[in-house]
Amino acid sequence: MENQPEIVEQALEFARETLELALGWLTSPAAWSQFALLVVAFLLALLLTRRMAPALKRLLSPAEGSETLLSQTRRFLARFVPLLLPLLAYGLTAVGESIVVSLFDSGAVIAFGKRVFLFLAARILVRQILTDPFLKTLGRYVLIPVAALYALGLLDDVTLALSEMEVSLGNISFSLIALIRGVIAGSLLFWLGSWSTRHSADYIARQEEIRPATRELAIKTVEILVFGAAFLLLMSIMGIDLTTLAVLGGAIGVGLGFGLQKIASNFISGVILLLEGQATVGDYVELDGGEQGKIVKMTARAAVLETFDGRWVVVPNEDFITTRVVNYSDSGSANRYEAPFSVSYDTDINRVPAIVEAAVATHPGVLDLPYPPDCELRAFGESGVEFCVEFWVNGLDDGENKYTSDVLFLIWNALKDNDIEIPYPHRVLEWKAGQGPTAPA
C-alpha cells in the first residue's frame, strides 16, 4: 500500500525480517543444533538448581534473631538464590557456544537464547527479589523493557533512534537518550543518596559519646556532601559541561543576595546553632515571641518545637540567634519550682517549715541537690499566713511530669495529719443601728 506512515512501514519491514529469520532457523541444521543446546543447558541448569538452592539457603541463613553485620550480609545474599536458574543456564550456554560456533560457524540462536536467559533473570529480580517500592517500580518500567528490547536484538536500534533526537534548553542541548539516561541515573543516584544518608544518620545518632549538636551537624554535612556528589555525577552522566552552569550559578548567587536573604540567613543560623550547641534536639526552649516547646527536629531552615498539648511550632533558625532564648535544657537538668499554700492564723507557724519540708522530700522526683526542699514564710495575708515551698526536680513540671500537683497533695496530707488548718476567705460585716450593713472589711 502506498502513502503509509513511516512507522507502519518500519513495523512491516521488521515483521518481514523476523519472518525470514524464523524460516531460516527452522530450515537450518545449525539452528536446530543450537536449539537443542539451549534446551539441554536449561534442563541441566534446572537440575543443578534443585540440588544447589536448598543447600545455598541453609548456608546463607543465619541463626534466628542474630543481627550482626555478617548475619545481615548472609540474609541479603540469600535473597538472590532465585537468580540461580537463569544464571546457570546462561553460563552453561556460554560454555557450549564456542563448540557450536566452531562446528557450524554460526551462533545466532545461541546468542538469542543467552539474551532470553538474561531477560528471565531481570524478571525474577524485579518480581521476587526487589522489595523497595521505588526500585520495584524502576525495575518494572525500565529494567524489564530494556531487557526485553535486548533479548529481541532491538536495543541498539532504539538507542540510536533516541540519540538522534535532540532537546535544547537555552544554550544547553542534549539527545533524548541522554535525557532518559539522566532521569534513570538521577532517580537511582538520589535514591541511593537518600538511603545512604538515612543509614549514616542512624549510625551517627547512635554515637552517644558525641554531643547532640555535633551529631546533628555531622548528619547535615553528610546530606550535603552525598547529594552534592550525586548532582555533580548526574551532570557528568548526562554529558552537561559543568562550566556551562557557572553562569547559572552566578545568577542563583545574585538571587540569593536579593530575594532569598532570609533563607540564606536561616541556613547560616542553623549551622551556627549546631556548632555552638546552645539549643539542640531534646531541649525545651522559650523564645521572646512566646513560642515554647521541646525541639524535636532541626532542619536547614527552621527548628520544630513540640508543645505539651501536641502542637508543632516551626521557628526560623534566625530567631534563635537574634532574639533572647530561655533554654530549660534537657530532661537531665535540674529546675526549681514553687508550691504556695496558706495556714490559719491560729497555727503555730514555727512548726510549718519542718513539717512541709519533710513531706515534700518524700517525693521520688524531688532532689536533695543542688538544694533540698525549702519552706519560706512569704506574707501575712487577708485570710491566712502565706507560705511557699521551693523544690528542685529533673526536667519540666508539665507534660508527663506533674511535680507541683504531687507536692501540693503532699502538703495537704501533711498539714491534715498535724491538725493544721488550711484557711478559706473570711469576711467581717459591721452592723450599725439605724443603718444597713457596710461594705465587707
Task: Please report the pLDDT score of residue 1 as a whole number.
Answer: 47
DSSP string, 299-343: -SSEEEEE-TTS-EEEEEHHHHHHS-EEE---TTSEEEEEEEEEE
Render each residue's pLDDT in the chain as its tens digit; 441 residues. 455 555 555 555 555 656 555 555 555 556 666 777 778 888 888 888 888 888 888 887 777 767 777 777 878 888 888 888 888 888 888 776 666 666 555 567 777 788 888 888 888 888 888 888 888 888 888 888 888 888 877 777 778 877 777 766 656 666 777 777 778 887 887 787 777 777 777 777 777 766 666 677 677 777 777 777 777 777 776 666 666 555 556 656 665 565 566 777 777 777 777 777 677 777 888 888 778 888 888 777 788 888 877 788 888 888 888 888 888 765 456 888 999 999 998 899 999 999 999 999 999 989 988 889 999 999 998 889 999 999 998 877 776 778 899 999 999 999 999 999 888 876 777 777 665 555 554
pLDDT for 179 equals 76
| Stated pTM of the model | 0.49
Residue type, 388: C
What is the DSSP pairing of strand 302-306 with strand 292-298?
A: antiparallel
- Whether the link from the prior residue into 133 is cis, omega within 30° of 0, is no
Do the bridges between strand 172-175 and strand 166-169 make them parallel or antiparallel, or are there none, so unpaired? antiparallel
CA dihedral 262, 268, 270, 273 (to 10 degrees): -130
Length of the chain: 441
In angstroms, what CA-CA distances link 385 with 37, 208, 259, 350, 360?
105, 50, 62, 12, 19
pLDDT given at position 386: 93
Task: Label residues 62-93 b or e (16+ Cβ within 10 Å = b).
Answer: eeeeeeeeeeeebeeeeeebebbbbbbbbebb
Say what the pLDDT of residue 182 is.
76
Q: What pLDDT digit, counting tens, does each position of 354-410 carry?
A: 999 999 999 998 998 888 999 999 999 888 999 999 999 887 777 677 889 999 999
So what's the pLDDT on residue 169? Answer: 63
List the beta bridge partners of residue 342: 386
The Cα–Cα gap between 214 and 220 comes to 10
Residue type, 76: F
Residue 188: which of 220, 153, 225, 142 has the closest Cα?
Answer: 142
Residue with the three cell numbers 538544694: 371
Contact 427, 382 (CB under 8 A): no
- Dihedral angle over CA of 130, 136, 142, 148, nearest 10: 50
Q: What pLDDT does residue 63 have?
A: 73
Measure the CA angle with vertex 327, ends 406 and 322; round to 5°: 150
H or E segment and range at residue 35: helix 29-60
First to last CA, the chain: 116
Using alpha carbons only, what angle is made at residue 109 by residues 106 and 111, rounded to the nearest 5 degrees?
90
Q: How many Å apart are CA 9 and CA 353, to the nearest integer?
A: 103
Residue 3 to residues 8, 14, 16, Cα–Cα distance (Å): 10, 18, 19
**Percentage helix, strand, coil for the chain under 3-state DSSP, each rounded to 5:** 60, 15, 30
Q: Backbone phi, then psi, for 153, in 5-degree steps?
A: 80, 20
Distance in angstroms (rounded) separating the CA atoms of residues 314 and 295: 10
H or E, element range at 394: strand 385-394
Map residue 30 onto helix, strand or coil.
helix
